Structure 1
């Protein structure tokens, strides 16, 4: 049995993983979907990026989890990657699901044309507002799936997107799987391509869009299970 700590991307909470969690339980694993501070049922809790890192570390330590696979989707790859460094030998593997990865000293908004996000945050009292249905077009989602994402979305604390990541060691030293969703972009971003040169990193691909927990939950659960079975121990 593997303990999967599942963390969804921007605007989403633990419920984004409902279908994936059901598949993992059926396979005999223990999924632990986590809502980060300031989102979903934790709206109103002040949060910066390091708050989200602590959320993940605290969950692992509170439950005294071992052989943990940390799973981060989209934005949450940044706090998940930092948390993976901080839980030490509790970590079995970290999985990035079409995710951003932390770069020391850089934020989620670094390195891509994100001025429009900063403007939205400034205009919405420090929060990145939920997106409309057009944001999810062309990502392999049905209308019902898009409606479910929107229904489960909440404003995202802007500070978590603008604060820099803090890494104590190169991310390539951690055992990791990167899942690339090909409808979003066929190639991993350059920082991920560089990390994939590490012998501790592996690449998996899914022929779907950026929200595979909604569009392909069974396939995603299978890849997570296969990743967990990869026995690579961090140094």
Structure 2
């Protein structure tokens, strides 16, 4: 099985290294794509950018955090067999609201306006609070800002006809867990799986997250 791993807005593809190694050890292939480009692209442009970095067929596409905005486009471009939303924003397919429209409902109030890439202490507090010291050090090294305007303003199209799994970290300090659970039910028609972790379980709980990925795939 191939897994295409999509980084979120505050980390580089290196954030997936531990999960990728575990997936590879289990006999799968894992490709962490890099969405950073010299200039902002439309959603379809980022989907093609991901397509250019993947040479396989019918992967499971896994997106973290704000990359949920791009997950449907990337999954369709790669003819994905499944999508996995990890602590991720799920677009409002029926209502047409954008991520910007949903900031107050989606994010924990203390997170709004924080740039963790400019403040390691804030990154540790909000993103990596459940990491052991060694993992926290590694996680801080993955910090990188990826915040193109398309993430905030892209209107969702029709709900994709690709099976979805939603993984909600119960100790997330950035996205509200209850919002993610409700969005999974209302927007994707699925019941979310839960993981005892903060916003970045690929850093703090890589073995448990890898098990969920392979189990659902």
TM above 0.5: yes
SS at the partner of 1:28? coil
| Counterpart Cα distance in 1 of 2:193 and 2:20 | 19
Call closer, same or farther: CA 1:147–1:133 in 2, change over 3 Å.
farther
- Given the alignment of the two structures, is residue 6 of structure 1 paired with residue 5 of structure 2, yes or no? yes
- Give the corresponding residue for 2:213: 224
Rounded Cα–Cα distance in structure 1 between residues aligned with 2:193 and 2:142: 27
Q: Which residue of 1 aligns with 2:49?
A: 55
In structure 2, the residue matched to 1:215 is 204
SS in 2 for 1:91: coil
User: Does residue 1:68 correspond to 2:66, yes or no?
Assistant: no
State the SS of the aligned residue for 1:112.
Answer: helix
Q: C-alpha displacement at 1:147, in angstroms?
A: 2.9
Q: CA deviation at 1:84?
A: 1.9
C-alpha displacement of 1:86? 3.8
Indicate conservation of the 8 Å contact 1:81/1:101, yes or no. Answer: no
Give yes or no for the alignment of 1:193 onto 2:185: yes
Residue pair 1:20, 1:221 contacting (<8 A) in 2 also:
yes
Question: TM-score scaled by structure 1?
Answer: 0.75
Residues paired across the two proteins, number:
205
Structure 1 runs not aligned, ≥5 long:
39-44, 122-127, 229-235
- The answer to whether structure 1 residue 147 and structure 2 residue 131 are counterparts is no
Please report how far the alpha carbon of residue 133 of structure 1 lies from its aligned counterpart in structure 2 after TM superposition. Answer: 2.3
1:67-104 CA distance string (max 9 Å, x none): 310000111111112222344xx321100001012335
Instruction: Point out where structure 2 has 5 or more consecutive residues left out of the alignment.
Output: none
Instruction: Name 1:32's counterpart in structure 2.
Output: 31
Please, what is the CA RMSD of the aligned residues? 2.8
